Structures are given as structure tokens and as C-alpha cells.
């Protein structure tokens, strides 16, 4: 584990405020001008960077200030959607990367947090809309499963259990792909900023060489 710096008391506070402002700005821009995963990959990275540069207190401060800024700019609903899961993902990733945990551990942890966060957001959006968003997702999954079964020559209706498994699997797979992208971006970006994350697996380095 890298030694903890003993900076002037104001420096971590200033950097945390700057990173929080940058995070809030990225989230704000992505909400009004969505660019797919392009900006979403950066949501947890500033919080993790605060952990790598300073310590857990700085990372928590960055997360809380980002949450407060987004509450003022976009309201509590949007700020909660940032905090869960992206804020906590950034905090846990920073802790794991500082300890030089392998990518497998940090990707697994981030995937679990991302999946739980997606489930929370589904519940929150359903509550706000007054409709069960899970039903919409399962109906889309049922169409997909039915299409696959049609390609295989089956005309039967897909079973509800299979549809539910496919829907849940889609959420987990989406979280997994997101975490892999976050790791790749952080690996390239934070190395250049002088705060590298855990070393990439050999197959990743071979793939990018």
C-alpha cells in the first residue's frame, strides 16, 4: 500500500472540491446530452482518484460534495441516482486500487454494487412513475427470448422463470461490462496523472499492445 501523504490541511479539501465539481459537471452534461457510456465511465473515477491521492476521508468528502452539488443543480432524485451506485462504486474502487487488489476483485465488487444500484434505481423510478418498470423490462426480455426460440424452431411461449433469469442476467452483464470499461479508462487515465490503479492483467496489456 502506498504511504499516506501528510499534506497541508487545505490541499485535500481543495482537490476534493475540484473533483466533486468535475464529477457533478460530467453527470449534469450526461443527463442533458447523453452520449451513451462515453461519460458514464467517468462517474466513479474522480472519487476513486481522491482516495488514491489522499485517503478515505478525502474520497468520502468528494462523494458527499458531489451529492450536494447535484441535489442543488438537479434535485434529490437525480443526486440519489448518482450516489447509488456510482458514488459508492468510486469509493470502493479507490479502496481496492489503493491496496493494489487484482482487477478480478475490484471488477467483481463493482459489478455487485452496480447490480444492486440498478435494482434500487428500478425501484425508485417505478415509485416515481407509479408503474412497475420491472414488468416493462421482463416484457422486452420475453420478446428477446421468444425471438431466440423462434430462430431455434420453437413456437412455444417462453417460460416466466427463463424470462426473469434473462432479465436479471442482462442487468448483471450490463454492470460487468460497465466495470470493465471503467477499469480500462482508469488504467489509462490515472497512470498519466501519476496515481495508477492496480496493474492490469497480462491479457489486457497484450490486447492493447
**Residue 209 in 3-state DSSP?**
coil
> Tell me: the pLDDT tens digits for 114-140?
999 999 999 998 998 888 888 888 888
> Could you tell me where the DSSP H helices lie in 6-158?
10-32, 37-40, 45-53, 56-74, 76-81, 88-98, 103-129, 133-151
| Displacement of CA 109 from its chain's centroid (Å) | 11
Other CB atoms within a 10 A radius of the CB of residue 32 amount to 7
Question: What residue segments make up the domains of the chain, in order of their start?
Answer: 10-208
Bond into 9 cis (ω within 30): no
Asked if pLDDT for residue 4 goes beyond 60, the answer is no
Question: Quick check: 94 and 77 in contact, CB under 8 A?
Answer: no
Question: Quick check: 175 and 40 in contact, CB under 8 A?
Answer: no
As a whole number, the mean pLDDT across the chain is: 88
Residue 2 has a pLDDT of 55
DSSP state of 163: H
CA dihedral 90, 173, 186, 3 (to 10 degrees): 50
Give me the count of residues in the chain: 209
Return the ∠ at Cα 178 (arms to 172 and 183), rounded to 5°.
125
> Tell me: the pLDDT tens digits for 88-102?
999 999 999 999 999
pLDDT-derived band at 157 (thresholds 50, 70, 90) equals: confident
Question: Quick check: 193 and 49 in contact, CB under 8 A?
Answer: yes
Give the global pTM. 0.87
Asked if pLDDT for residue 113 goes beyond 70, the answer is yes
Q: What CATH class is the domain 10-208?
A: mainly alpha
CB under 8 Å to 149, separation ≥6 — which residues? 155, 156, 158
Amino acid at each position: 500500500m502506498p504511504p499516506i501523504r501528510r499534506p497541508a490541511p487545505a490541499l485535500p479539501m481543495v482537490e476534493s472540491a475540484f473533483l466533486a465539481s468535475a464529477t457533478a459537471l460530467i453527470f449534469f452534461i450526461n443527463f442533458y446530452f447523453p452520449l451513451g457510456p462515453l461519460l458514464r465511465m467517468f462517474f466513479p473515477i474522480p472519487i476513486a482518484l481522491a482516495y488514491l491521492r489522499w485517503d478515505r476521508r478525502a474520497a468520502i468528502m468528494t462523494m458527499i460534495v458531489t451529492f450536494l452539488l447535484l441535489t442543488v443543480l438537479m434535485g434529490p432524485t437525480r443526486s440519489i441516482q448518482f450516489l447509488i451506485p456510482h458514488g459508492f462504486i468510486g469509493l470502493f474502487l479507490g479502496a481496492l486500487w489503493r491496496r493494489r487488489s487484482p482487477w478480478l476483485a475490484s471488477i467483481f465488487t463493482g459489478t455487485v454494487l452496480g447490480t444492486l444500484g440498478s435494482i434500487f434505481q428500478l425501484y425508485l423510478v417505478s415509485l416515481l412513475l407509479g408503474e412497475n418498470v420491472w414488468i416493462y423490462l421482463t416484457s422486452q426480455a420475453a420478446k428477446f427470448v421468444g425471438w431466440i426460440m423462434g430462430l431455434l424452431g420453437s413456437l412455444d411461449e417462453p417460460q416466466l422463470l427463463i424470462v426473469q433469469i434473462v432479465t436479471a442476467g442482462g442487468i448483471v452483464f450490463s454492470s460487468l461490462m460497465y466495470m470493465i470499461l471503467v477499469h480500462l479508462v482508469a488504467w489509462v487515465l490515472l497512470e498519466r496523472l501519476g496515481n495508477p490503479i492496480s496493474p492490469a492483467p497480462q491479457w489486457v496489456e497484450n490486447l492493447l499492445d
